[in-house]
Structure 1
């Protein structure tokens, strides 16, 4: 059944060899099966599968042992052709495949921050070790929100990712974008003619303005926000660019609840975190990711109480990681520079919070319906999308509360009440 993934016998053999490294035992593949994980999916921009391989290991003429290998596979979606074309046009799968075949293995030599890829085929399929077997899982039934103990582990994983950038650059004596030219070029928010996300962003602006017009009682405020918010959202095109002021790192770029996995102690306390999904990675300062993670997984009230602590926790985690590599953090990023850059990138986090959350916070039944077929996906745009969003806004208290909080955070961050 592995041909469901277009895997040849040679592909499967290479997968097993990569999985078993550094074990050099001889083996034969006895069987392979594929299970589609659509009903268990935590993301919608890819097809997910479980690949199981039964292998007969041979360490000698008589020492033969069967071993079952279970792997997680991420592939370009096929059920919705327009979605596949969209992902190809924005080079999402291409970027992630190239990162996992070139850069991420080098970064991972300095610290673990993501699942290990054992095989990449073209630009449309990646095979990972199944970290669920280690106990890692995405936190569910939490409304996309993380508490303090989960955020601490997520920030430690983020600090490990960022520290690997500094470590690799220190080892090689040149910037990652010089070592891997083009690999981290922006593919999410490019202001270019006919680029698919330009139209998408204008659609997002229409949605945020529709929510404001639908929910805001103060007519004068409605006019002000509808006038000012669009250009605030469009600032994302500048905010994602590599900084000329602050030190840059490999940035995850898509940090919301379902892209963070946790492993727990026997008592249920999170003890480790991994970050998944690198389709939108870029080369920007650490504060971009820090603000994105802490904004998309918390409420404004939570941040008012804990933001300063979280800043300090991330910075000290980064210091500890860099100390392992014998790098002084002050040479890379002073605490004052980090705080200053955090203030600057509050804007990108506020924008991304609405862009991502107005979709991901929809009830699962609605999301499943949207991505159930090419026809349903095609209908979720323009006025039909706005209608469905506003219906959910009216019916679902949790969704309405979060959308209002996210928009009010944008108003605060951009100082719109002062204009």
Structure 2
């Protein structure tokens, strides 16, 4: 899902469009920028000029095309500036999006515009702050136009954490507390409406393995390929029993994920893809993290709260920091409970129940951490283009993935220790 972009020149006026921008971002036009400005700053804001500025680096991973737009406008006789992060649905070689592009883009757009306002209403009614996710300033999801204008959080001091480094306690604490607020708000919403969220918002049930027959077949190929690749890495690193475990998991792909995502009393609205690359932090003058924002809700779903916890903890927190696992779960439980108490509701789960549910979903965390860790520690030149994994090219992608993983094991000094951490956890928790 990697994209690299180039800086495009500034427009001299709002009426001047650069042909290169129109070709690169066909959905990004002056009319759309104007709509975003009016929705964000009011209809009396007058667009003066705008320019796109690409900011992603090599190795950044996105399912959507991403750029930023700097806008100059007048309001009340004064000139102002504002910038937006703009996400646009990918267009592949044939000029059309794939099923994966359609699914992930619509899920995020509908979460931000349909679900997030409902969740924030629950939090605000309890006297709490809204969820820490990007504010959607303007969007369009249709056959010909698919884009999201989001607030540019860089101007509030938020920045990415180094994806190659494992997240430490102070950063992890903020993430787990915000995940708990997301989960608790969705629990309150379900309790108040007394209905299953997926009944009205069916997009929360969309998964790569159930979106279509084509998607299911492709997912099975990719899942088997990633797990067989990890099996080979485990064998080279001397984890023979673990190598067999990954190989056995590889053959069960869709069935494995369906079992792990089974419905239960722990169901909440989950982020679905909460790991280092999809998180921003703001720091104080001492360089300590004080606020977090969760990004890229393209795989949001209704599932057990422990799915998000396992996904984040085993992919993003190194084993040395995971020694305090129960403390992490206590932080999560306390944050969840604060939301419920503020809303005048009883806490639905004890700390022990959350711990048991976390253990029940460990396998999900182990499997997806094995996929994410090589991505997180990779050098830019080692990140594979996700485009090559869709449109019937999954088998070729899987073989390239295997070869790439073996090269990285020999050349990337970060990969082996991170995998060893994960493998030791699996051996311990699974008693292999």
After TM superposition, the score normalised by the length of structure 2 is 0.82
Q: Which residue of 1 aligns with 2:273?
A: 254
Q: Which residue of 2 aligns with 1:18?
A: 39
Q: Which residue of 1 aligns with 2:107?
A: 95
Deviations 1:265-305 (A, max 9, x none): 122111111111111111012221122211111123432x2
Task: Give the whole-Å Cα distance in 2 for the aligned partners of 1:41 and 1:272.
Answer: 25
Task: Give the whole-Å Cα distance in 2 for the aligned partners of 1:216 and 1:172.
Answer: 52
Mind listing any 5+ residue stretches in structure 1 that lack a counterpart?
59-63
Secondary structure at the aligned position of 1:184 is classed as: helix
Decide which moves more: 115-124 or 313-322.
115-124
Q: CA RMSD in A?
A: 2.9
Task: Give the whole-Å Cα distance in 2 for the aligned partners of 1:239 and 1:200.
Answer: 18
For residue 79 of structure 2, the aligned residue among 55, 59, 66 is 66
Task: Give the whole-Å Cα distance in 2 for the aligned partners of 1:337 and 1:372.
Answer: 38
Task: Give the whole-Å Cα distance in 2 for the aligned partners of 1:250 and 1:287.
Answer: 11
Q: Which residue of 2 aligns with 1:396?
A: 412
CA shift for structure 1 position 40: 6.8
Residues 251 and 284 of structure 1 are in contact (CA less than 8 Å); yes or no, is this contact kept in structure 2?
A: yes
CA shift for structure 1 position 383: 2.8
Cα distance, 1:130–1:174 mapped onto 2, change above 3 Å: same
Deviations 1:321-375 (A, max 9, x none): 222222221xx223332122111111111111012223332222322xx339979
Cα distance, 1:82–1:185 mapped onto 2, change above 3 Å: farther
Decide which moves more: 268-277 or 95-104.
95-104
CA shift for structure 1 position 120: 1.4
Task: Give the whole-Å Cα distance in 2 for the aligned partners of 1:385 and 1:316.
Answer: 40
Q: Which residue of 2 aligns with 1:184?
A: 204
Secondary structure at the aligned position of 1:266 is classed as: coil
Q: Which residue of 2 aligns with 1:145?
A: 166
Cα distance, 1:119–1:260 mapped onto 2, change above 3 Å: same
Secondary structure at the aligned position of 1:381 is classed as: helix
Task: Give the whole-Å Cα distance in 2 for the aligned partners of 1:68 and 1:407.
Answer: 50
Task: Give the whole-Å Cα distance in 2 for the aligned partners of 1:26 and 1:156.
Answer: 39
Deviations 1:220-256 (A, max 9, x none): x477446544357666423443423x23111001111
Residues 287 and 342 of structure 1 are in contact (CA less than 8 Å); yes or no, is this contact kept in structure 2?
A: yes
For residue 381 of structure 1, the aligned residue among 393, 397, 401 is 397
Residues 73 and 127 of structure 1 are in contact (CA less than 8 Å); yes or no, is this contact kept in structure 2?
A: yes
Mind listing any 5+ residue stretches in structure 2 that lack a counterpart?
1-16, 124-129
1:135 aligns with 2:153: no
For residue 292 of structure 1, the aligned residue among 294, 304, 311 is 311
Task: Give the whole-Å Cα distance in 2 for the aligned partners of 1:26 and 1:207.
Answer: 56
Between Structure 1 and Structure 2, how many residues are aligned? 396
Q: Which residue of 2 aligns with 1:122?
A: 141
Residues 100 and 120 of structure 1 are in contact (CA less than 8 Å); yes or no, is this contact kept in structure 2?
A: no
Deviations 1:122-151 (A, max 9, x none): 2632110011111111111x6241110111
Cα distance, 1:361–1:264 mapped onto 2, change above 3 Å: same
After TM superposition, the score normalised by the length of structure 1 is 0.85
